[in-house]
Amino acid sequence: MAAPKSKRVYAAWKAFRWLLTFVSRHRGWMIAGTVSAIAAAIIEVWTGSLIEQLTSQAENGAGPVVIEIVWTVFLVILIGVPAKYLMIYGVEKSSAFAVRDIRNHVMNHIGKLPIHYVEKQHSGDILSRISSDLQLIHQFMSRDLAQWFYHPLLFVGCFTYLIWIQWELMMYSLLLFPVSLLVSHWIGKQLQQLTEEAQANMGRMNMNLQDTLGGMPVVKSYLLSGMLFRSYQSLLLLTAQKKLAVKKRESWVNPLLSTLMLSPIIFAVSYGSYLISKGELGTGELIAFLYLLNLCLEPLDHIPELITHTFEMSGALKRVSDILEQPAENQEGHAITKTASPPVEFRDVSFSYETGSPILQNLSFTVPEGKTIALVGASGGGKSTVFKLLCGFYPLEDGQGNISVFGQQVKGSNPEQLRSHFSVVTQESYLFSGTVADNIAYGRQDASMDEVIAAAKSAQAHAFIMSLPEGYQTYVGERGGFLSGGQRQRIAIARALLKNAPILLLDEPTSALDPESEGAVQEALQVLMSERTTIVIAHRLSTVQNADEIWVLEQGRLVEAGTHAQLLEKKGLYAQSYLQEFAGLAESKEVVYT
């Protein structure tokens, strides 16, 4: 449902004010551009006055004065050239810097957005806001902002001077002016709505494109390219229709307005000639009047266009400022330091993403220092949620229990400081665009090359890295696409080793690998896990067997805990359900009943 008008106007005004805060940081060039715009407008009006003097003196036959005025006209025109140059360059320069700052600000803000917001958005839509919406804003600032100073000033200057020459002629000539303003304002509002819709569709198209490229193997194997293409096509059509609707309105309203603009000239020539015949107006005055009236009409021709561009820009501005209005994750809070208290403790934690669908229920456990805990349980039972809460991605509300790390509450802690205690390795580790060395060094950005190599050696990755065409400087491709799954995991383990955090959160890093790659990654993991506290979401029998303790999570509750042998002995849920999943039915039976 569309927001009420007053709210939309307020939102547009707020977005505009926000834009001005960025422009004001580069006010030097903006002021230079604005002053030049004022100067350029004054020069235009001044030229009109000189033309009037010139024709009057010529009529009176004052030859030397005429020559003097001609020189002055040339001089004034010459001064106008740098003034117009500075008007355009000054505003463009400050706009370019302002847009650079906005991009920085948006990017910085996105990095600080809480994960619970980002998880709900499509990255393609966010990307579209940063690229095409900001592009539209930049276009407005560099193309239209200077004109917003120049044209109204030119209009006011010419208007005042025209009134002074012959106010009646002026008033009659511009009778139709309010009509054109009303038409352009009305059309501008419609354009803002259409532009917002077109930009939102662009966002959806980007989502579609990103899904097609990012999920290419799935797209190919499930023969989805046709379906995705069709949905892209229909979005494209919708976007084209919206843009066409914008152009359609622009293209009938602009000629209409231009025609309205011609009427004052026709009127001025007719009525002015009548006044001359009555001796109430000089020929020079009429020539100057027509020159200035023409100048006066130039802004009137441009202002409607400026208004429509401004509405278009405010649609884009709103989409960008929507992201910025999302509160950033609180970067303050108490520091968590490593102490002798248990590394991880959950006390009566109950949590839900949506009200009414509990995910964790009164969950309590303590992970002792240096131990490896395997979390098992049915899919959707809340295992990954435990990790998300531990890293502070979703803050606990009052009454939802307590989570502590080294005896200090996660709630209200400094998130960066908190996360410095964890290394996370997931089933499919994320590699960034860049080299192998870069990707390992993301574990600790001040690490030396020797430390990167040492980490790679410990992660059993050095040998394969050295066999790559450019060794550590080999480009890994998008998301590490040039490497095998096992190689990617070993780079991720090297990154975690370099980070050297005391607590490991593993989402079974070998579960997506074939047995051959698994062996090498397991060896790397053993190095990583030694002397660290580890919680591992277990999918493999070998992992649960090697864990110090296994915890069974069922619908957000801890229902069984013990070593592999103890849980087998108990013949409870673990022995009956999960072991079969890990080892296959036959193997589990064999183990259970021996």
Ligand X SMILES: Nc1ncnc2c1ncn2[C@@H]1O[C@H](COP(=O)(O)OP(=O)(O)OP(=O)(O)O)[C@@H](O)[C@H]1O
Q: Which of residues 551-580 bind ligand X (CB under 6 A)?
A: none
* Minimum distance, C-beta of residue 387 to ligand X, in the bound complex (Å): 8
In what order do the strands lie in the sheet containing 402-405? 358-367, 344-352, 402-405, 408-409
In the complex with ligand X, the residue whose CB is nearer, 381 or 486, is: 381
Q: Total residues contacting ligand X (rule CB under 6 A)? A: 11
Helix (H) or strand (E) holding 151: helix 145-173
In the complex with ligand X, the residue whose CB is nearer, 343 or 556, is: 556
Nearest to 95 by CA among 52, 140, 142, 128: 142
In the complex with ligand X, the residue whose CB is nearer, 284 or 382, is: 382
Please, are residues 374 and 538 in contact by the beta-carbon 8 Å criterion?
yes
In the complex with ligand X, the residue whose CB is nearer, 295 or 513, is: 513
* Minimum distance, C-beta of residue 353 to ligand X, in the bound complex (Å): 3
Q: How far apart, in whole angstroms, are the C-alpha atoms of residue 447 and residue 424?
A: 18
* Minimum distance, C-beta of residue 255 to ligand X, in the bound complex (Å): 52
* Minimum distance, C-beta of residue 407 to ligand X, in the bound complex (Å): 25
* Minimum distance, C-beta of residue 359 to ligand X, in the bound complex (Å): 5
Q: Which of residues 352-391 bind ligand X (CB under 6 A)?
A: 353, 359, 377, 379-385
Q: How far apart, in whole angstroms, are the C-alpha atoms of residue 556 and residue 350?
A: 8
Helix (H) or strand (E) holding 10: helix 5-24
* Minimum distance, C-beta of residue 197 to ligand X, in the bound complex (Å): 28
Query: % helix / strand / coil in the chain, to the nearest 5?
Result: 70, 10, 20
Nearest to 300 by CA among 342, 347, 262: 262
Nearest to 295 by CA among 43, 45, 40: 45
Per-residue mark of binding to ligand X, 78-117 (x: CB under 6 A):
----------------------------------------
Length, in residues, of the chain: 594
Q: How far apart, in whole angstroms, are the C-alpha atoms of residue 198 and residue 315?
A: 10
In the complex with ligand X, the residue whose CB is nearer, 16 or 393, is: 393
HSE at residue 346, side-chain half, CA atoms within 13 A, is: 25
In the complex with ligand X, the residue whose CB is nearer, 197 or 507, is: 507
Give 442's contacts (C-beta < 8 A, 6+ positions apart).
Answer: 432, 495
Q: How far apart, in whole angstroms, are the C-alpha atoms of residue 413 and residue 423?
A: 18
Helix (H) or strand (E) holding 537: strand 533-537
HSE at residue 437, side-chain half, CA atoms within 13 A, is: 14
* Minimum distance, C-beta of residue 151 to ligand X, in the bound complex (Å): 50
Per-residue mark of binding to ligand X, 201-240 (x: CB under 6 A):
----------------------------------------
Q: How far apart, in whole angstroms, are the C-alpha atoms of residue 117 and residue 126?
A: 12
In what order do the strands lie in the sheet containing 372-377? 422-425, 503-507, 533-537, 372-377, 549-554, 557-562
In the complex with ligand X, the residue whose CB is nearer, 379 or 467, is: 379
Q: How far apart, in whole angstroms, are the C-alpha atoms of residue 35 and residue 40?
A: 9
Nearest to 258 by CA among 297, 312, 311, 309: 297
Q: Which of residues 314-353 bind ligand X (CB under 6 A)?
A: 353
* Minimum distance, C-beta of residue 486 to ligand X, in the bound complex (Å): 21
* Minimum distance, C-beta of residue 85 to ligand X, in the bound complex (Å): 54
Sign of the alpha-carbon dihedral angle for 124, 130, 135, 136:
positive
In the complex with ligand X, the residue whose CB is nearer, 17 or 120, is: 120
In the complex with ligand X, the residue whose CB is nearer, 161 or 351, is: 351
* Minimum distance, C-beta of residue 487 to ligand X, in the bound complex (Å): 24
Among 71, 75, 119, 570, binds ligand X (CB under 6 A): 119
In the complex with ligand X, the residue whose CB is nearer, 327 or 380, is: 380
* Minimum distance, C-beta of residue 553 to ligand X, in the bound complex (Å): 7
299 touches ligand X by CB under 6 A: no
In the complex with ligand X, the residue whose CB is nearer, 170 or 375, is: 375
Residues in contact with ligand X by the rule CB under 6 A: 119, 353, 359, 377, 379-385
